[in-house]
C-alpha cells in the first residue's frame, strides 16, 4: 500500500472528518456524526456539536473513565507527600539533619524506576493493547501501596517505592488512549481537561495523606501509623480497577483482533509452564518458528497448524514496526522530546526549589512558614484549574500548539528571572520591595506566571507529541519515551536544584539567583530549540482549517494578481 506523506495525512484527516459521512480510520478517532445529527447540532449520542459543525463528538464515556484512572492514580501518588518526611525521620538510623536527603533518595528511586520501564510499558501497550497494561499497572500499584504502609526501615521504603515506579506506566498509556479515542477535530478539547484532573489529584491526594495518619491507637504508639492512608489509596486504585474492567474500551485497533484477555493470559501461563517443564518443542517456539517462515516435515506442519489455532501470537506484528527509525524520530519529534526534557527539568526543579527557597532564612530565603507555603501552593492549584478550563483552550485555538509551546518557555524564563528579586517581609534585603503585603503580591504574580507556563507547556507538549506520531501504532512508544524523559527530570531536577541552593546560601548578595538563574538559562535554551519545531502536522484540526483557508485565500489572491499585471507591478 502506498504510504502518504505527512502533508497528505494532515489534509486527508482534516477533510475526511469535515466533508464525508464515511467511516474514518479505526485506529484513531471516532466516526463523525450522521448528517442528520450535524444538521441538528447534535451527535448520535447526544453530544453538542453546534459550536463547530465539523468537530467530531467527544466520546464522553471513555473520557470519563480515563479521567477516573488519572484522578485515582494522582490521588494515590500525591497522598505520600505530606507524611513522607515524618515517615522517613521515624526510620531507625536516620539523622534529623539528613531527612531531606533521604526523602529525595526515596523520590529518586521511584523516578529512576520509571525511567527504566516507561518506554517498555509503552511498547507492550502497542503490542497487546492499552487496557491490559492499565489493568496490570493499577493492580500492581495497589499492592505496592499496601506494602508501603508496612515499611519500617529506610531500605524497605526505597525498595517499595522503586517497585511502584517499575510497575506503573499508566500515565503514558492514558495519554496514548486519549490520543486514539479523539481525532484532530476534537483532541484539543479532550487534552485540555487531563491536566485539570492532575491538578485535582494534587489537591485530594495531600488531603488524604495528611488527615489519615494515626500515630496512636488507644493511647499507645501505633506500630504502623502510615498504613491507613496507604490502604485507602490502594482501595481507590482497586475501585478504579473494577471500573476499568467494566467500562474501559480497548483503543488499540490491532488488539481487538486478538483473543479475549483471559485466554491470552492462559496461553501466557501455558508457555511459562512449558518453559519450566523443559519441553523438547514448546508451542511458543513452534509459533515463532512458523512466524519466521521455517518449514518442517508433514507432522511438524500439522503441529504448527494446531499451534496456530491454540496458541495465538501474544505479540502481533504492528504496522508501525515497518516504519524506519528515521521516519519515527524525525527532526520535529527529536526536538519535541529534547525540549520536553528541558521543560520537565525546569518544571520539576522550580517545584523543588520554591518551598526550599521560601522557607529558608534571609537573605537567600524569605522565611515563610509551612502554612504560608501551603496557601501559596493551594493558590497555584486554583489558578491552574481556572487557566486550564477558562483560558488555555481559547488561547491555543488562536495561536496554535507550537506558538503556545514557545510562549510557555518564554514565560517560564521570566518566572525564573523574577523570583530571586521578590521582596522580603520586613528586612531591607535586595529585592523589588519590602513588606508582607508586597511580598505576597509579588509571589502571587510569579506563581501565576509559572502556573501559566507549566499548564500551557505541558498540555501543548502532549498534543504535539501525539500529533507527531507517523503511525498510530507507535504512539504508545512515543508517549512511553516522553514519560521516560519526564522521569529523567524527576530524578535529576530535585537533586541538582537542592545542591545549587545549598551552594547559593553561602553567596552574598543574591545567592539565590544562582540556582534560579541556572535553570532560567537552561529553559531559555529550550525556548530557542522550540523554534525548530515547524511541521504543520502538529496542529489540531481547527488550526488546520484556518491554515487551509488562509492558504486558499492566498492562492486566490495570487490568481487575481496574475490576471491583473498592473496590480502585480504595484505590489
DSSP secondary structure letter of residue 24: P
The number of C-alpha atoms within 13 Å of 193 and in the hemisphere containing its C-beta is: 14
> Which of 442, 70, 501, 53 minimizes the C-alpha distance to 248?
70
Residue in this structure with the C-alpha cell 445529527, named with its chain if needed: 37
Residue 268 lies in a domain: no
Residues 330 and 244 in one domain: no
Residue 502 sits in a domain whose CATH number is 1.20.1250.20
Whether 31 is covered by a domain: the verdict is no
Count CB atoms within 10 A of the CB of residue 301: 12
507 φ/ψ sector (left φ>0, alpha ψ -120 to 50, else beta):
beta
DSSP, collapsed to helix, strand or coil, labels residue 217 as strand
* Angle, alpha carbons 235-239-244 (nearest 5°): 145
**Placement of cell 507492550 in the chain:** 124
Is 200 found in the same domain as 81? yes
Do 126 and 252 form a contact (C-beta atoms < 8 A)?
Answer: yes
- Domain end position, chosen among 203, 236, 253: 253
Number of domains in the chain: 2
Distance, in Å, from the CA atom of 67 to the CA atom of 60, rounded to the nearest integer, reads: 10
Closest CA to 511 of 360, 389, 322, 294: 360
As a whole number of Å, the end-to-end CA separation of the chain is 46
391 plus 492 within the same structural domain: yes
Beta bridge partners of 217: 220
Q: DSSP E strands: which ranges in 477-520?
A: none
96 within domain boundaries = yes
What are the residues facing 320 on neighbouring strands?
Answer: none
Q: What is the DSSP letter of 246?
A: H
Alpha-carbon span 569 to 243, nearest angstrom = 68
Q: Say what the pLDDT of residue 175 is.
A: 80
- The C-alpha cell 471500573 sits at 243
What is the rounded CA–CA span in Å between residue 382 and residue 451?
Answer: 10
Based on the fold, state whether residues 361 and 497 are members of the same structural domain. Answer: yes
Query: Considering all CA atoms of the chain, what is the largest pairwise distance in Å, rounded to the nearest integer?
Result: 96
Q: Are 293 and 317 in contact (CB under 8 A)?
A: no
Q: Which residues contact 519 (CB under 8 A, 6 or more apart)?
A: 345, 346, 349, 350, 353, 416, 497
Provide the pLDDT for residue 241: 94
Residues 71, 194: one domain? yes
Shared domain for 207 and 86, answered yes or no, is yes
- Helix (H/G/I), strand (E/B), else coil: 424: strand
Instruction: List b or e across 149-176, with b for residues whose CB sees 16 or more CB atoms inside 10 angstroms.
Output: bebeebeebbbbbbbbbbbbbbbbbbbb
Q: Is residue 415 within 8 Å of residue 450, measured between CB atoms?
A: yes
What is the rounded distance in angstroms from the CA atom of residue 5 to the CA atom of residue 536? 12
Q: Which of 84, 106, 94, 74 is nearest to 226 (CA)?
A: 84
The reply to whether 45 falls in a domain is: no
Place of cell 501552593: 377
Together in a domain, 364 and 508: yes
Going from the C-alpha of 265 to that of each of 128, 130, 298, the distances in angstroms are 11, 15, 30
Position 239 scores a pLDDT of 95
244 and 368 together in one domain: no
Domain containing residue 493: 326-542
Q: In the block, which residue shows the cell 492558504?
A: 551
**Structural contact between residues 459 and 192, judged by C-beta atoms closer than 8 angstroms:** yes
Last residue of a domain, one of 225, 253, 281: 253
Give dist(CA 502, CA 517) in Å, integer: 14
How many angstroms separate the CA atoms of 118 and 73, rounded?
Answer: 16
Enumerate long-range contacts of 32-36, CB under 8 Å, 24 or more apart: 32/56, 33/57
Q: 299 lies in a domain? A: no
Where among 253, 275, 306 does a domain terminate? 253
Q: What pTM, to 2 d.p., does this model score?
A: 0.62
The CA R_g of the chain, rounded to the nearest whole Å, is 27
Which among 268, 298, 262, 292 has a CA at the least distance from the CA of 282?
268
- Model pLDDT, residue 51: 47
Question: Is residue 217 domain-shared with residue 337, that is, in the same domain?
Answer: no
Q: What is the DSSP letter of 80?
A: S
User: What is the pLDDT at residue 100?
Assistant: 62
Same domain, yes or no, for 243 and 356? no
Q: Is residue 20 part of a domain?
A: no
Quick one: which H or E segment has residue 485? Answer: helix 475-504
d(C-alpha 109, C-alpha 394), whole Å: 39
Report yes or no on 87 lying in a domain.
yes
User: What pLDDT is attached to residue 525?
Assistant: 97
Rounded to whole angstroms, what are the CA distances from 201 to 78, 443, 457, 471?
Answer: 7, 24, 19, 32
Residue 36 within a domain: no
Residue 428's φ and ψ, nearest 5 degrees, are -100, 55
Q: Are residues 233 and 355 in the same domain?
A: no
Are the CB atoms for 468 and 538 separated by under 8 Å?
yes
Cell of 188: 484539543
pLDDT along the chain (571 residues), means of 10: 43 33 39 41 44 70 90 88 81 75 78 82 82 91 94 93 88 83 77 75 78 84 90 95 92 74 62 54 46 45 44 47 66 90 90 79 80 74 81 84 94 95 74 78 92 89 83 72 79 78 80 90 96 83 51 52 41 33
Instruction: Output the CA–CA distances (angstroms, integers) from residue 16 to 11, 24, 55, 424, 535, in the order listed.
Output: 8, 7, 11, 58, 20
- In sequence order, what are the residues at sequence separation of 6 or more whose Cβ sits closer than 8 angstroms to the Cβ of residue 98? none
- Nearest CA among 356, 318, 304 for reference residue 500: 356
Locate cell 502556573: which residue?
451
Structural element, H or E, at residue 212: none
How would you class 370 by CB atoms within 10 Å of its CB: exposed for 0-12, middle for 13-18, buried for 19 or more? Answer: exposed
Amino acid at each position: 500500500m502506498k504510504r502518504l506523506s505527512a502533508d497528505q495525512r494532515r489534509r486527508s484527516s482534516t477533510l475526511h472528518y469535515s466533508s464525508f459521512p464515511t467511516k474514518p480510520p479505526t485506529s484513531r478517532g471516532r466516526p463523525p456524526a450522521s448528517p442528520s445529527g450535524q444538521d441538528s447540532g447534535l451527535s448520535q449520542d447526544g453530544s453538542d456539536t453546534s459550536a463547530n459543525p465539523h468537530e467530531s463528538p467527544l466520546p464522553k464515556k471513555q473520557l470519563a473513565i480515563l479521567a477516573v484512572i488519572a484522578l485515582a492514580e494522582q490521588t494515590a501518588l500525591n497522598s505520600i507527600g505530606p507524611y513522607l518526611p515524618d515517615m522517613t525521620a521515624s526510620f531507625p538510623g536516620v539523622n534529623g539533619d539528613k531527612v531531606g536527603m533521604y526523602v529525595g533518595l526515596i523520590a529518586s528511586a521511584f523516578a529512576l524506576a520509571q525511567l527504566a520501564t516507561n518506554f517498555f510499558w509503552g511498547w507492550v501497550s502497542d503490542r497487546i493493547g492499552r487496557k491490559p497494561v492499565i489493568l496490570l499497572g493499577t493492580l500492581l500499584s495497589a499492592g505496592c501501596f499496601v506494602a508501603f504502609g508496612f515499611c519500617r526501615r529506610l531500605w524497605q521504603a526505597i525498595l517499595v517505592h522503586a517497585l511502584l515506579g517499575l510497575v506503573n506506566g499508566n500515565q503514558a498509556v492514558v495519554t496514548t488512549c486519549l490520543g486514539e479515542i479523539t481525532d484532530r477535530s476534537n483532541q484539543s478539547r479532550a487534552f485540555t481537561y487531563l491536566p485539570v484532573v492532575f491538578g485535582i489529584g494534587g489537591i485530594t491526594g495531600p488531603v488524604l495523606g495528611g488527615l489519615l495518619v494515626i500515630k496512636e491507637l488507644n493511647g499507645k504508639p501505633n506500630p504502623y501509623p502510615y498504613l491507613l492512608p496507604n490502604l485507602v489509596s490502594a482501595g481507590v486504585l482497586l475501585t478504579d480497577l473494577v471500573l476499568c474492567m467494566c467500562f474501559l474500551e480497548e483503543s488499540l485497533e490491532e488488539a481487538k483482533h486478538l483473543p479475549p484477555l483471559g485466554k491470552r493470559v492462559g496461553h501466557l501461563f501455558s508457555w511459562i509452564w512449558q518453559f519450566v517443564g523443559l519441553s523438547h518443542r514448546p508451542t511458543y517456539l513452534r509459533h515463532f518458528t512458523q512466524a519466521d517462515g521455517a518449514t518442517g516435515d508433514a507432522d511438524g506442519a500439522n503441529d504448527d497448524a494446531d499451534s496456530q489455532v491454540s496458541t495465538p501470537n501474544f505479540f502481533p506484528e504492528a504496522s508501525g514496526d515497518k516504519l524506519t527509525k528515521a521516519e519515527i524520530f524525525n527532526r520535529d519529534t527529536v526536538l519535541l522530546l529534547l525540549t520536553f526534557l528541558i521543560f520537565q527539568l525546569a518544571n520539576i526543579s522550580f517545584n523543588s526549589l520554591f518551598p526550599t527557597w521560601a522557607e529558608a532564612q534571609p537573605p537567600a530565603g524569605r522565611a515563610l512558614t509551612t502554612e504560608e507555603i501551603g496557601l501559596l501552593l493551594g493558590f497555584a492549584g486554583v489558578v491552574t484549574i481556572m487557566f486550564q478550563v477558562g483560558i488555555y483552550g481559547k488561547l491555543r485555538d488562536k495561536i496554535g500548539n507550537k506558538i503556545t509551546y514557545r510562549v510557555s518557555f518564554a514565560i517560564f524564563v521570566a518566572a525564573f528571572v523574577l523570583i530571586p528579586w521578590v521582596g522580603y517581609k520586613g528586612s531591607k534585603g535586595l529585592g523589588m520591595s519590602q513588606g508582607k503585603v508586597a511580598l505576597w503580591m509579588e509571589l502571587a504574580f510569579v506563581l501565576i506566571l509559572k502556573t501559566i507556563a507549566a499548564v500551557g507547556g505541558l498540555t501543548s507538549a502532549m498534543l504535539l507529541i501525539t500529533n507527531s506520531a507517523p503511525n498510530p501504532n507507535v504512539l504508545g512508544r512515543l508517549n512511553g519515551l516522553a514519560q521516560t524523559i519526564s522521569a529523567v527530570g524527576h530524578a535529576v531536577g530535585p537533586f541538582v536544584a537542592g545542591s545549587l541552593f545549598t551552594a547559593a546560601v553561602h553567596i552574598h548578595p543574591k545567592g539565590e539567583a544562582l540556582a534560579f538563574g541556572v535553570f532560567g538559562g537552561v529553559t531559555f535554551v529550550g525556548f530557542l530549540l522550540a523554534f525548530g519545531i515547524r511541521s504543520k502536522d502538529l496542529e489540531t484540526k481547527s488550526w488546520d482549517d484556518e491554515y487551509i483557508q488562509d492558504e486558499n485565500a492566498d492562492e486566490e489572491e495570487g490568481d487575481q494578481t496574475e490576471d491583473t499585471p498592473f496590480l502585480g507591478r504595484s505590489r
